[in-house]
Amino acid sequence: MTILENVSLRDRTTFSVGGQARFLVEVHDETELKDAVAYAKEKGLAYLPLGGGSNVLVSDDGYDGLIIVIHMKGIERVDDPDGRHARLFVSAGEDWDSFVAYAVKESLWGVENLSGIPGTVGASPVQNIGAYGSEVKDTIESVRAYDCENECIVELSNAECEFGYRTSIWKRERVHPLIVTRVTYRLSRRATPKLSYKDLALYFEREGVLNPSLEHIRSAVLEIRAGKFPDLSAVGTAGSFWKNPTVSQIVYRELVLRYPGLPSFPAHDGAVKLPLAWILDRVCNLRGHTHGRAALYENQPLVLIAFPGCTSFEIESLVSHVSSLVHHTTGIVIEREVVNIG
């Protein structure tokens, strides 16, 4: 295990902004992970796990602690005796989209709608990633993690992960550090397509396809995403920067009177989920809005992009402006998806 000093985090995040980590270590198995955490504790350092860096914004001041980069690899498949499902034991450092491609190739249903999402497998339960009518919680059976406080390996069931909309037990401040080392997915060997999401439904309606294959669904999702998300080789981004807000039925009825055509989706406990992209575009007129070298992406205003040379200060300034304008205009307080480091 090699501890590196003063390592730039720009090249280790998809935003490509921010300062240096005081210390950084790459771990390839649970033993190295335990040693890295022990090192941080011994030196009195803050520590933080990092996967693909696809959902984080690093401060310009960097991180004054130890960044632990998870490089654990490996996929193991075990078919259920019922013949209808298969369990996949996937190490946290595996690339998420490569895992999705593997599942599709193996004719296993459940994660195909999540194609094209950047990052690693270890981040999937933390964020409860979701897209195009699917959430990863619906396929996760359990999560293996290192309990940094009690210095032991634990196995959390789906229920113990406390999944919610883009959240989980890992995002609850009351929880002591748990670093994901492996995720167990239970996928279907029988066709279980989810095609109700508007973009997907319209895609296959245009194609005239009633029963698309796994490969066709993955291809469709990748094509749709390509039209909404920028090229990471040209600009930095963490994808959707904010969560879609949830409001009460009363608030929704008030808003739809002011903004006819405001779309909505059912949420938990009778609440209503609103598409923030529609509000940013149609209500706040913010599509393509630029602040310094940070901007809202022209094709999808929910996505914040960073042009070369952008700083996290510029991004935070744009975020503050957008959040204030949305609240002033609609009364809605929007919540970010992206996690701050430093």
Of these residues, 94, 112, 314, 337, which one is catalytic?
337
Does residue 106 have an active-site annotation? no
Q: 269-303 burial, b if ≥16 CB within 10 A, otherwise e?
A: eeebbbbbbbbbbbbbebbebebebbbbbeebbbb
Of these residues, 124, 168, 240, 312, which one is catalytic?
240
* Pairing status of strand 294-297 against strand 300-306: antiparallel
Going from the C-alpha of 255 to that of each of 19, 283, 336, 340, the distances in angstroms are: 41, 11, 21, 31
Does residue 337 have an active-site annotation? yes
Does residue 258 have an active-site annotation? no
Going from the C-alpha of 327 to that of each of 51, 296, 342, the distances in angstroms are: 33, 17, 26
Residue with tokens 């959240």: 167
13 contacts: CB under 8 Å, gap ≥ 6:
53, 54, 56, 57, 58, 236, 238
List 140's β-bridge partners, or say none: 185
Task: State the distance between the two ends of the chain, measured CA to CA, in whole angstroms.
Answer: 24
CA separation for the pair 70, 84 (Å, rounded): 32
Residue 161 region by backbone torsions, left for phi larger than 0, else alpha for psi between -120 and 50, else beta: alpha
Of these residues, 12, 144, 166, 293, which one is catalytic?
166
Contact 338, 243 (CB under 8 A): no
Q: Which of the residues are catalytic?
A: 166, 240, 337
